[in-house]
Structure 1
Amino acid sequence: MANKTLGIEPKLYEYLQSISVREPSILKELRQETANYPMAEMQIAPEQGQLMALLVQLMGAKKTLELGVFRGYSSLAVALALPDEGIVVACDISEEYTAIARHYWDKAGVSHKIDLRIAPALETLDKLMAEGQGNTFDFAFIDADKSNYDDYYERVLKLVRPGGLIAIDNVLWGGKIADENIQDNRTQKIRALNQKIYRDSRVNISLIPIADGLTLLLKQ
């Protein structure tokens, strides 16, 4: 987990942000508030939020999916980039975290674009499939519990339309992913999914070394 891009020395990172990150004031306010929270590293970096917003705009997305809301930074970044009729189906299990998210969505005037589902994400994804929403999402962001990453990937792949984009967060996992001596469950799950995606002909891929590593997948 990282709320800034890994592997860049502080002075260069400060420069990168100063000449490239156009962070809306509402996102900056949320990020600064979260910085004082014990789990602040769970929030995505501002340069990652900006990249996701740009991708959503570039593809003209209207229907998006998010697994793992936390305090709402990524969903807010995407919602701000969507047209007024756009929607983010946002999945999380925490009423506590998402209460902060709701506050900022309201403050930003984008609450009407966000459909928050409080339930285990796998249940929500299965329900979306049962409702006939397969192949209808333009964009999906996976940033929930790592032990279920493979299950999320397979379900999201069914929900995203051909030509749609999937973004998977934390694929570099603080650098632990490259250390074979680290064999805890979450690291092994991410490592296995990275290998699976590399071999998966159903998608075109690019791993972007931004924040904690973001894999982009274009569904065939």
Structure 2
Amino acid sequence: MPDTVATPGPVIPRPVTPTAILAAQLTELCDQLSGTVSGEALDKLARARDLATGLDSYVTAGTTEESPELADLARATSAHAWHDGLEQEMLSGHVEGQLLKFLVRMSSAVRVLEIGMFTGYSALAMAEALPDFGTVVACEIDPGAAQVARAAFEGCAAGHRIRIELGPALQTLQRMAAAGEEPFDFVFIDADKGGYQAYLDLLLDSSLLATDAVIAVDNTLMQGQPWTGTTTENGSAITAFNRALAADPRTEQVLIPVRDGLTLIRPLPR
């Protein structure tokens, strides 16, 4: 009989949002304290655990299902062997994808700009909300991620609405602004966290934004680091960005606690 090779199982996503991190820590704490503390205290801790662990799945269950094409793309992203700092957890995911899709449709957007595409889940979700003549211009710096996205878009009905711009996003934005690219109705920023302020400044100071455009910025809760004091390079960058944005007279904004935080920004009339 020939030797059999074990097929690796699916990679379990690590907790990367405040809710998921809280749920994991409360679960671990319940296990550690079981049998060592009073029943009442453990019951309270277990209820807190259940609140945290059940929230994401309940929100997902109450959200419109993703399209089969988006589900296929999520599976392909999960199965890919990532490297160089890329990981499956960078995918926007079902709930945030549906929120972006909802916002694009609600705003009657025709032209969408994405800064940081990864494997294209959010780009495809937004493209699905556009009219057939609509366009998503998706900026991505990693050729491997862009290759996964292209393969997914080729088999999707909305894939032809997506134009990939490969290279550093700031250079792409500068080039588009200099070339007089048509303005965008909706912008989604989910790229290098240290570059967020430069992206926002360029958008606000150029002609790339249409009147009444909306900008959505991802990861603005950054795993809870901005308010817990746990600091990484990304956490410091998001903390600085959030602080500067809150004081920026050019905009109004609201931070929504969905997934790892999504800030919606509306440029104010000048």
Mapped partners of 1:112, 1:44: distance in 2: 21
Hey, what's the Cα distance between the residues in 2 that align with 1:212 and 1:2? 13
Q: Which has the larger radius of gyration?
A: 2
The letter of the residue matching 2:56 is Y
Higher normalized contact order (CA 8 Å, seq sep 6+, divided by chain length): 1
What residue in structure 2 maps to residue 126 of structure 1?
Answer: 174
Task: Please list every run of 5 or more consecutive structure 1 residues that lacks an aligned counterpart in the other structure.
Answer: none
State the TM-score, normalized to the length of structure 2. 0.75
Given candidates 146, 159, 163, the residue that maps to 2:193 is 146
Residues paired across the two proteins, number: 218
**2:213 corresponds to 1:201:** no
1:22 corresponds to 2:65: yes
Match of 1:78 in 2: 126
SS of residue paired to 1:20: coil
Measured at CA, do residues 176 and 108 of structure 1 come closer, stay the same or move farther in structure 2, by a change above 3 Å?
A: same
- Is the 8 Å Cα contact of residues 91 and 124 (structure 1) preserved in structure 2? yes
CA deviation after TM superposition for structure 1 residue 24, in Å: 0.7
Counterpart in the other structure of 2:54: 11
Give the residue type in structure 1 aligned to 2:191. Answer: A
1:190 and 2:227 matched: no
Instruction: Output one character per residue of 1:69-116: Cα deviation in whole Å (capped at 9) or x when no partner.
Output: 111101000011111110111111122111111111111122321111
Of 122, 137, 142, which aligns to 1:89? 137
Match of 1:162 in 2: 211
Q: Mean alpha-carbon deviation: is it higher for 117-126 or for 26-35?
A: 26-35
Residue 18 of structure 2 contacts residue 221 of structure 2 at CA under 8 Å; is this kept in 1? no
Q: Determine whether 1:43 maps to 2:55.
A: no
Question: Which amino acid is the alignment partner of residue 36 of structure 1?
Answer: A
C-alpha deviation, 1:45, in angstroms: 2.3
Asked if 1 retains the 8 angstrom alpha-carbon contact of 2:17 and 2:223, the reply is no
TM, length-normalised to structure 1: 0.92
Work out whether residues 3 and 44 of structure 1, in 8 Å CA contact, stay in contact via their aligned partners in 2.
no
Measured in 1, the distance between the counterparts of 2:133 and 2:93 equals 26
Cα deviations by residue, 1:18-72 (Å, 9 ceiling, x for unpaired)? 1223211111111123223451111112111101111100111001100111111
Aligned equivalents of 1:35 and 1:111: distance in 2? Answer: 20
Q: Output the amino acid matched with 1:60.
A: S
Query: Is 2:117 the partner of 1:69?
Result: yes
Aligned with 1:35: secondary structure? helix
Q: Answer with 147-156 or 69-78: which moved more.
A: 147-156
2:106 to 54, 58, 62: 58
Is 1:116 matched up with 2:164? yes
1-structure distance, mates of 2:58, 2:70 = 19
Give the deviation of 1:3 after TM superposition. 8.3
Query: For 1:178 and 1:19, how far apart are their aligned partners in 2?
Result: 29
Deviation at 1:121, TM superposition (A): 0.5
AA in 2 matched with 1:7 = T
SS in 2 for 1:127: helix
**Is 2:63–2:98's contact at 8 Å kept on the other side of the alignment?**
no
The 3-state SS of whatever aligns with 2:155 is helix
